[in-house]
Amino acid sequence: MKSKGFKARLTSKNQMTLPKGVSALLNVGPGDSIRFELGDDGSIVLLPPSVRERLAPLVGRSRRGGGKSPEAVDAEVREMRGDIEE
């Protein structure tokens, strides 16, 4: 099976736009963090945010006796994970 390659160009500020195919594979979007790790063989691996990083905005938002309904929390978690409702 032939692997698919992606290409991006750095700006003068060392910034790049992540190709749409890569962001889709990593399930990331605006505001998400991406980790770059160097492999033993010199390769660079892109890693999406951890579950902990994705759920961090929700920590402390729900209070006992108030806050969002379980359904609203479920919907927000599904949105953060990028799940598509059918």
Confidence label for 9 from pLDDT (cuts 50, 70 and 90): very high
Q: Percent of the chain beyond pLDDT 90? A: 19
Which two three-digit tokens encode residue 64? 């006992």
Query: Per DSSP, what are the bridge partners of residue 44?
Result: 38
So what's the pLDDT on residue 14? 94
Higher pLDDT, 29 or 86: 29
Model pTM score: 0.53
N-terminal to C-terminal alpha carbon distance within the chain? 31
- Which residues, 6 or more positions from 18, have their beta carbon under 8 angstroms from its beta carbon? 8, 28, 34
CA distances from 57 to 24, 27, 31, 80 (A): 22, 17, 12, 10
So what's the pLDDT on residue 64? 62
